[in-house]
Amino acid sequence: MDEERITQFTEEVAELKLRGAKGDSERWLLLIGSIMLVVGVGLGVVGGAMASGTTNTADQVAAIATGSLVGLVLVIAGTALFLRYSMGRFIRFWMVRFVHEQRSETDRLIAAIEKSHS
């Protein structure tokens, strides 16, 4: 009976006609977010080192603007992309697992009820 439910569940998921390409684009956006996060941290460190390495105020401001601020923007955008797509994947996994467990529990209850009435 459990195999029948698994087959039925698989068929119902197939009927949803989900596109496989969406998973690929989400994987790429997750990777891009991770890369942006690392590059942003690197730019922040480089910008801070460049600003502290000079005594000229104009050079310090330029180093902070180009390194640290651009790095901060990349960190924020990369974190947002990473969180959005990693949480999306986790929630989808959790929902599929939840539905599967609920169906299994329903099958067990139905079997117990049928057994008690026999």
DSSP 8-state assignment for residue 66: I
Number of domains the chain contains: 1
Q: What is the pLDDT of residue 107?
A: 87
Using a cut of 0.85, tell me whether the model's pTM lies above it: no
Confidence of residue 20 (pLDDT cuts 50, 70, 90): low
Q: Which whole-number Å values give the CA distances from 97 to 2, 6, 51, 62, 87, in the listed order?
A: 15, 12, 51, 51, 15
Q: How far apart are CA 59 and CA 53, in angstroms?
A: 9
Let me know if residue 5 belongs to a domain.
Answer: no
Query: Is 76 domain-assigned?
Result: yes
Domain that holds residue 47: 23-117
